[in-house]
Chain A
Amino acid sequence: MKTNRFWAWLVFAIGAAYFIIPLLATFEFSLRMRRGTYSFDAYASVFADPAFARSFTYSVVVGLFTIVVGVLVVVPAVYFVRLRMPWLRPFMEFVTLLPLVIPALVLVYGYIRLYNSSSLIPFTGSALGTDILLTCAYVTLALPYMYRAVDNGMRTIDIGTLTEAAQIMGANQVQIIGQIILPNILVAILSGAFLTFAIVIGEFTIASLLNRPAFGPYLVGIGTNRAYEPAALAIISFVITWGAMGMINVLGRFAPRTSARTD
């Protein structure tokens, strides 16, 4: 058994080295901007750049809209399919698997062909329309994660009983979803939301092909023109991703545990 443990530590140590060294190296590199000494100049330069604030704000706003639209599309659908139309489940599973199968690059190619300015629904004809298309593209991209989070959330609460109880008390459908179901799966929804945010915030492919001034294309621009700022931006992005994932972990502790499991 001793040897077993030795190998386990060895594998773990090599893995940890592979994951930690790039982070350390990036951090070290980001401090090298001033010659001969370590400084946070690269970070100062990044934060002083108005394009950083502009593109970051743009992506945050698109991310927030993506979360809202995603919740509005997914939550009612999952609720009613679980409650009344279980025969639609395979269809939902299939649809939510598609964004993992069809590369985002291919999807956006389809959007550009389908929704150009001379088409029936000219999304790309105006800046606002393109913003809407970008948001919808991100909702699609995040669909597998949002769906799974919400579906898991609904599995742990007994939506059948809750719905019946609410109906007996005289609640209508909007009240049931808004005041009974939603608060009960809030933790699951927030997990999906943070994951969505982590995916959307630095997304490059779709934003750049739709020509939107998002954070991802800004990053690539900095990467080709600057030396030390990219490293600082990589560290900043890592911290943001860490923050989003950390929130999911923290929220997990508040998830309802007293569940009437239905499966």
Chain B
Amino acid sequence: MTDIAAPPKSPRRIPWDSLAVFPFVLFAVMFLFLPTLSLVGAAFTDRSGSFTFDNIAGLFTDQIMAAYWISIRISGASALLGALIGLAITLAIIRGKLPAGLRSAVMTFSGVASNFAGVPLAFAFIATLGRLGLVTIILRTVFGFDLYRSGFNLLSFWGLTLTYLYFQIPLMMLTIAPAVDGLKKEWNEAAQMLGASQWQFWRYVGLPILWPSFLGTLSLLFANAFGAIATAWALTGSNLNIVTVLLYNQIRGDALQNPGLGAALALGMIVITSLANIIYLVVANRAERWMK
């Protein structure tokens, strides 16, 4: 990418290069590598300090497996729905011949909404879809439809997924917009001249080109939701048995009564988000070929 010619060597002897990069490396070691390694180590260590697989084996209990599973389901559902809806809105805005000014407004809003996560987001959804929320009340008084009697609950799988979508959709839109921009108009015209319908263009040209970016962003969204805790915590307190809440309680007060098991729980989370991101890296490499 850069081929800047190396400037002439400074006559001074101070090794500026290493000195300048040193804080960055120190930071990476102290606040990323060592903490992670220490957890990996603890996951394979028993109370007396010797090597063991017991902690990993200890993960395979009903409670912990259920926590992982509901976390994976919520992250998967909010990532997949967020990616699909985000792509649809992005296509509508960029390719749907909507007024040009709309795009920058929507993208600015996406920047805000993708950062509007955590505790305030939970408050907003309680005020909207909670038992006293505006939408719940309007549905009941105007349409005679009792949301909560129909089985909906904000503090449930779908409630949390619906809430997560508020930051997942904008994140998808921000990441996928460059790829959608990369779909050249000429390709559509070329396809039309060869007699392709709009549907055929999207089926055989448009979507296959977007596919790698789509998959890549999907894994980013998955990791994003999987590690999230603040929203879930503010919505449900410690009631919802997702893996982040379980780990939070473990860090707070050793809820599993076994520090090694807590470390194993954290290791499991790293493994799952790493898998998602390895897919992202592999796929993003392929996607970049079309971005040139």
Q: Which residues of A contact B (CB under 8 A)?
A: 1, 4-5, 7-9, 11-12, 15, 18-19, 21-26, 28-30, 72-74, 76-77, 79-86, 88, 92, 95, 97-114, 136-137, 139-140, 143, 155, 158-160, 163-164, 167, 172-173, 195, 198-199, 202-205, 209, 216, 219-220, 223-224, 230-231, 233-234, 237-238, 241-242, 244-246, 248-249, 262-263
Contacts and interface: CB of A to CB of B under 8 A. Distances in A.
Given A100-B223, A106-B39, A111 B31 contact: yes
Interface of B: 1-8, 10, 12, 14, 16-17, 20-21, 23-25, 27-28, 30-32, 34-36, 38-39, 42, 85, 88-89, 91-93, 95-98, 102, 106, 108-109, 111-113, 115-116, 118-128, 132-135, 165-166, 169, 198, 220, 223-224, 226-227, 229-230, 233-234, 237, 244, 247-248, 251-252, 262-263, 266, 269-270, 273-274, 277
B7 A167 contact: yes
B97 to A, nearest CB: 5
A65 B35 CA distance: 22
A158 B35 CA distance: 37
B75 to A, nearest CB: 11
A173 B109 CA distance: 40
A104 B119 contact: no
Contacts of A224: 237
Given A25-B127, A102-B270, A73 B12 contact: no
A241 B116 contact: yes
B89 A15 contact: yes
A72 B31 CA distance: 16
A209 B237 contact: no
16 contacts: A12-B89, A15-B88, A22-B127, A28-B127, A105-B269, A109-B262, A140-B32, A163-B7, A202-B120, A205-B230, A209-B248, A219-B120, A230-B123, A234-B123, A241-B115, A248-B111
Given A5-B96, A173-B14, A224-B237, 13 more contacts: A11-B88, A18-B165, A26-B127, A85-B21, A88-B21, A97-B277, A102-B270, A105-B229, A106-B36, A109-B39, A203-B230, A205-B230, A230-B123
Contacts, number: 280
A118 to B, nearest CB: 14
Contact of A105 (B7, B124, B125, B227): B227
Contact of B34 (A1, A9, A114, A163): A114
Nearest to A215: B119
Contacts of B111: 245, 248-249
Contacts of A110: 34-36, 38-39, 266
B140 to A, nearest CB: 14
A6 to B, nearest CB: 9
Q: Looking at B2, B220, B273, which has the most chain A CB atoms within 10 Å of its CB?
A: B2
A169 B276 CA distance: 50
A43 to B, nearest CB: 14
A67 B39 CA distance: 28
Contacts of A100: 220, 223-224, 277
A185 B227 CA distance: 32
Nearest to B39: A110
B113 to A, nearest CB: 6
B4 A160 contact: yes
Contact of B24 (A73, A98, A109, A199): A73
A237 B116 CA distance: 8
A245 B20 contact: no
A164 B125 contact: no
A139 B153 CA distance: 37
B266 A109 contact: yes
Contact of A99 (B32, B112, B220, B251): B32
A95 B220 CA distance: 16
